[in-house]
Structure 1
Amino acid sequence: MHRSNIFQLGIKELRGLLRDPMLLALIVYAFTISIYTASRAMPETLNQAPIAIVDEDRSPVSTRIVSAFYPPYFLAPALISQHEMDVRMDSGVDTFALDIPPNFQRDLLAGRSPTIQLNIDATRMTQAFSGGGYVQSIVSSEVSEFLSRHRTNTVLPVELTLRSRFNQEMNKGWFGSVTNVIMAITMLSIVLTGAALIREREHGTIEHLLVMPVTPTEIMISKIWSMGIVVLLASAFSLFVIVEGLLSVPVEGSIALFLVGAALHLFATTSMGIFLATVAGTMPQFGLLLMLVLLPLQLLSGGVTPRESMPEIIQFIMLAAPNTHFVILAQTILFRGAGLDVVWPQFVALLTIGSILFAFSLRRFRKFLR
C-alpha cells in the first residue's frame, strides 16, 4: 500500500462530502439540534402533563384534591363538566381526566369506600404509565390528611440516606444528551461510508478508480479514515460545545480517552457501512437495509435500555456488535470518570471486532469491484 494514495483518495472523499448538502445537513443536525432536543425533551419524564377534573362533589376534600395538582408535573387542572370529559379525551386535549363523584366527602366521613374515576390517554404511553401512579399518590395523600384533620410527616423506623453518584441532580437530560452523541456516532459512521461508496457507483467514478494504480485495500482505507475523521471531529465538537457548553452537562471522565475509543468503534462501523453498501445496489436500497441493521443495533446495545433487562440470549448475541462495547465504554468514561484500567476490555473487544469486520468487508469489497 502507498500512504500517499490513501491520503489523496481520502481527500477526494472529503471533497465529495462537501458537495453533498443533504449529508452535511444530517451531520450538523445529528450533532447539534438532535443532542439539544434529546436533553430538553425526555419523553419518559412526567412534565407539564395536561389534566382535567370533573368535581361533582364540590366539597372541601374535592377542593384539596384539585389544588394538589400543580407544575412542573402537571399543568393547572381544567375544571370541566362530565360531558366535556369524553370530548376532550377524544380530541387529545387532556392526558388525564379525574372524575370526583357526588357525595364523595359524605361517604368518606361515613366510613364507606367511595370510588374516583381516572381516565388516562394511554396513547401517550410514557406519561400514562408514570402519571397514573402520581395521581393515585396525590389523591391518597390528600384524602388521608383530610380524614386525620392535619398534615403529618411519616416517621420511618429506619432513615435512608440517599447518595446520588455521577448525576447528583437526578437530571435525565444529562443522560439523554450524552446517549444521543453515542448513537449519532454509530449512525453517521455507517451512513457516510455507505453513501460514499454508493455515490461513486451511481456517478460512475468507481470505474475510474479501477483503471488507476490503486488497490481495493487503499480505496477502502481511504473511505474509512476520511469519513471516520469527520464523525470524530463532529462528536468532539458536540461534546465540548453542545453538551458541556450549551447544556452545561458535566462530563466526568477524559474526553480524549473517549475519542480514542470512538476511533476504534469507527474503524468497525465504517467497515460495516462499506459492507452494507456492497450489498445494496442503490441509495434507496441502502436506506432500507440500514433500517434493518441500525435499529436493532441501537435499541439492543444498552444505550436506550439496560442490557440486564433483556433476555440472556439477546445479551449474548449483541456481544458481537461493536456498539454494545462502545456504549459500555462511553458510559463508563463519560458518566463515571473511569480510566483505561477499567475500560481496556472494551478497547480490546472493539479492536478485535473491527479487524474481523474490516477483513470481511474487504473481501466483499474486492468482489464488488470485479
Structure 2
Amino acid sequence: MRHAANIYRLGIKELRSLWRDPMMLFLILYSFSVGIYVAATAMPETLHKAPIAIVDEDQSQLSSRITGAFYPPHFTPPSIVGLNEVDKGLDAGRYTFALDIPPDFQRDVLAGRQPGLQLNVDATRMSQAFTGGGYIQQIVQGEVAEFMKGTRASTPVPVELALRVRFNPTLAQSWFGAVMEIINSVTMLSIVLTGAALIREREHGTIEHLLVMPVTPFEIMASKVWAMGLVVLVACAFALFVMVEGVLSVPVEGSIALFLAGAGLHLFATTSIGIFMGTIARSMPQFGLLLMLVLLPLQMLSGGSTPRESMPEFVQTVMLAAPTTHFVKMAQAILYRGAGFDVVWPQFLAIIAIGAIFFAIALARFRRTIGTMA
C-alpha cells in the first residue's frame, strides 16, 4: 500500500507539473483536435477544382464537346487560351493542366486517322497531376466515343466484375486519415511527455529532491508512466468521440472501450520507451533529435502508412518488436472492421509482452542513471 500511495502522489505531482507547462498542453490539444482534422481533410481523396486551360485550334463541334466536359467539382471551368499562353500560364502556376486540341482534329477522327492531343501537366502539384491525367484521358475518350457512336453506351464484355467495397464504401480518405492520426498522436505524445518530464526534472534539479525522499526508482518511473499515459488516453478518447465521430462524422464500427483498453496497453510500452530515451538524452534538443530517429520508423514501418506486406521481409520481421505494429493492426481491426476481443487478443498479448520488456529495460537504465535506492 505504501508503494501504491507513493506512485499515486508522484503521479499527481507529474500532472500538476504538466498543467503548469502551457507548451505541452498546447501540443496535446493541437494534436488531438486540429492535427486530426488537418490530417483527415488536407489531402483530398479525389481531384478537386484543378485549374485547366484548353487551346482549341480546331474550333469544331467535337472540340467544343471536349471543352464543355470539364466542369466542377473535379475541374474549374476551362480557360480558353492561345498556344503562346500555355507555357506562361504553367510557369506562373495559373494552370495545372493545359490541353491542346490540334487543327483538323474532328476531321481526322472521322477519317479514322487517330490524331493525338497534347496534355501539358504541372507535375509540381503531385496529387492532382497524378490523378488528373487519368481523368482527362477518360473524359476525352468518352466524348470522342459518344461523338462517333451518338451514345456513350459501352460495349458489353463477356465477364463483368461486381465490385463491393467493405468498411469504407465511399473510399473517403478522411476515414483513414483521422483514425491513423490518432494512432500516430498516441505514440508520439506518450514518448514526448514521459521523456520531457524526466529531462525537465533533471534540468530543474528536482530529481535530486526525489533521491533524498523515501521513494524508489520503480515508484518514480511508474508514476510518470501512469500519469502521462492517463493524459494521452483521455485525449485519445476525446479525439474519438468529438473529432472523429462528431466533427468529421467518421463511423466507428467496433467497441471504443476495447480500443481504449488496447491503447492503454500500448501506452505502457511507449511511455517506457520515453523514459528510456529520457535517460539517454541530456537535454531537450538531444531528446528531439533522438525522437526523430525513433518515431519515424515506428510510424512509417508499422503498417499504418503502407501495408506491411509491401515492405521487405527483413523490415517486417524487425518491426514485430515494435509495439506500434501490433497497435496499428489492433486499432484498424476494431475501429474499421468491428472486430471483437476474440480477433485481436494476439495483438493484446504481443503489446503486453513488448511493454513488459521495454519497461524492464527502461527501469534498469533509470536505476543506473539516478542510482539504486534502498
For this structure pair, what is the TM-score category when the shorter chain's length is used for normalisation?
over 0.9
Q: CA deviation at 1:367?
A: 1.9
Aligned-partner Cα distance in 1 for 2:281–2:89: 48
How do 1:324-343 and structure 2 match up within 5 A?
324-343=325-344
Cα deviation, 1:142-196, whole Å, max 9, x if unaligned, reads: 1122222333243233343332221223222111111111111111111111111
Aligned in 2, Cα 1:288/1:45: closer, same or farther, shift over 3 Å?
farther
Aligned-partner Cα distance in 2 for 1:43–1:152: 30
SS in 2 for 1:240: helix
Answer yes or no: is the 8 Å Cα contact 2:145–2:151 preserved in 1. Answer: no
Answer yes or no: is the 8 Å Cα contact 1:44–1:126 preserved in 2. Answer: no
Aligned-partner Cα distance in 2 for 1:93–1:221: 57
Q: CA deviation at 1:44?
A: 5.1
SS in 2 for 1:2: helix
Q: CA deviation at 1:124?
A: 2.0
Which residue type is aligned with residue 88 of structure 2? V
| Aligned residue in 2 for 1:358 | 359
Aligned-partner Cα distance in 1 for 2:333–2:218: 34
Answer yes or no: is the 8 Å Cα contact 2:142–2:152 preserved in 1. Answer: no
Which residue type is aligned with residue 13 of structure 1? E
Cα deviation, 1:325-347, whole Å, max 9, x if unaligned, reads: 00000000000000000000000
Q: CA deviation at 1:35?
A: 1.3
Answer yes or no: is the 8 Å Cα contact 1:232–1:259 preserved in 2. Answer: yes
Cα deviation, 1:194-233, whole Å, max 9, x if unaligned, reads: 1111111111111111111111111111000000000000
Q: Does 1:136 align with 2:137?
A: yes
| Aligned residue in 1 for 2:148 | 147
Please give the TM-score of this superposition, normalised by the length of structure 1: 0.96
Q: CA deviation at 1:46?
A: 2.1
Structure 2 unaligned spans of 5+: none
SS in 2 for 1:97: strand
Please give the TM-score of this superposition, normalised by the length of structure 2: 0.95
* Count of residues paired in the alignment: 370
| Aligned residue in 1 for 2:223 | 222
Answer yes or no: is the 8 Å Cα contact 2:51–2:96 preserved in 1. Answer: yes
| Aligned residue in 1 for 2:8 | 7
SS in 1 for 2:100: strand
How do 1:178-327 and structure 2 match up within 5 A?
178-327=179-328
How do 1:17-32 and structure 2 match up within 5 A?
17-32=18-33
Aligned-partner Cα distance in 1 for 2:337–2:126: 31
Which residue type is aligned with residue 258 of structure 1? F
Answer yes or no: is the 8 Å Cα contact 2:40–2:178 preserved in 1. Answer: yes
Q: Does 1:65 align with 2:35?
A: no
Q: CA deviation at 1:43?
A: 4.6
> Which deviates the most, 335-344 or 56-65?
56-65
Identical counterparts, % of pairs: 68
Cα deviation, 1:66-115, whole Å, max 9, x if unaligned, reads: 11122222222222222222122122222222121222222222222222
Answer yes or no: is the 8 Å Cα contact 1:46–1:131 preserved in 2. Answer: yes
